[in-house]
């Protein structure tokens, strides 16, 4: 088996459990789907109950500076909880879905912006230059957008690029390999992919079909993207995940891609 290509740029990524990770990229600090509330039951009437089983590996106070939050969606407490919502007020910019931009805009104003598919924003880098963040397709369940979004809501993924910087893909709660193929067609040199996985299912949603990638699909997504490094997130700390770290390791090993896995450091 070949080793990880030497061209990979090992910028720091720290995974804190659930969907929350901190990327130090191009001089800016990006935080994905902030969730810091303690273990317990979460949800609201008419939605499946979500049970958090483990605390986050950090707290908002311990994160240090956060320049941008990449929020795949705001409607589910396992992607944005009460502590996460409080944090957004202290972050200069939150990027999310178009619908999320409208919902959060009343509180955050110009600090939040929704990105449609393939819509981009340029962010100034300390010392000069820019980082481009592009919203990319994601589907939180099986089927077409028209079938999925009325049930599970909008989700957006993100691609980060910049001159002299590696290309980074953040999948969000995406269950569609067709979306991954479309993204790979536009960004053929993905260096690092943060893949949301865990194979979550609910009997009351989509006949118990997957609403985010399972482990084998995550490995397939990595192959489609040609990703040199894969940081799995959102596969632990919640009871609705049906596959965890061991399943991901087995799937990537079976695909000959286990040398691409990076679990993110916590310190």
| Integer CA distances (angstroms), 132 to 23, 30, 50, in order | 15, 13, 34
123-128 own/partner pairs: CB under 8 Å, 24+ apart? 123/28, 123/67, 123/68, 123/93, 125/26, 125/27, 125/28, 125/162, 126/27, 126/28, 127/27
**40-42 and 28-32 strand pairing:** unpaired
Q: How far apart are CA 94 and CA 77, in angstroms?
A: 17
pLDDT exceeds cutoff 60 at 6: no
Question: Which are the contacts of 233, defined by CB distance < 8 A and separation ≥ 6?
Answer: 15, 18, 19, 20, 21, 32, 194, 195, 196, 197, 264
Tens of pLDDT, residue by residue over 18-43, are 999 999 999 999 999 999 999 999 87
Average pLDDT over the chain, rounded to an integer: 91
| Integer CA distances (angstroms), 260 to 6, 179, 263, in order | 12, 21, 10
User: What's the token pair of residue 196?
Assistant: 């949301």
Residues in the chain: 267
pLDDT at 73: 93
DSSP 8-state assignment for residue 200? -
Q: What is the pTM of this model?
A: 0.93
* Mean of pLDDT values over 236-246: 93
């Amino acid at each position: 088996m070949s080793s990880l290509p030497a061209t990979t740029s090992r910028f720091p990524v720290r995974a804190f459990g659930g969907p929350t990770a901190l990327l130090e990229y191009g001089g800016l600090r990006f935080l994905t789907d902030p969730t810091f509330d303690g273990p317990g039951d979460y949800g609201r009437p008419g939605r499946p109950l979500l049970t958090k089983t483990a605390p986050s590996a950090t707290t908002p106070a311990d994160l240090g500076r956060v320049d941008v939050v990449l929020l795949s969606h705001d409607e589910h407490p396992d992607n944005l909880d009460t502590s996460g919502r409080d944090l957004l007020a202290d972050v200069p910019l939150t990027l999310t879905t178009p619908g999320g931009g409208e919902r959060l805009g009343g509180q955050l104003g110009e600090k939040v912006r929704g990105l449609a598919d393939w819509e981009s924003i340029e962010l100034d880098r300390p010392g000069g230059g820019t980082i481009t963040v592009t919203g990319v397709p994601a589907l939180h369940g099986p089927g077409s957008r028209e079938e999925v979004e009325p049930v599970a809501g909008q989700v957006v993924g993100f691609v980060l690029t910049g001159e002299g910087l590696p290309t980074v893909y953040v999948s969000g709660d995406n269950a569609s390999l067709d979306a991954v193929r479309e993204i790979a067609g536009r960004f053929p040199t993905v260096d690092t992919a943060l893949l949301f996985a865990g194979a979550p299912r609910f009997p009351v949603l989509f006949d118990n079909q997957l609403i985010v990638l399972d482990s084998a699909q995550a490995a397939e997504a990595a192959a489609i993207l040609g990703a040199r490094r894969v940081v799995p997130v959102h596969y632990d700390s919640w009871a609705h995940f049906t596959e965890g770290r061991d399943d991901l390791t087995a799937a990537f090993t079976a695909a000959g891609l286990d040398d691409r896995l990076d679990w993110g450091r916590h310190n």
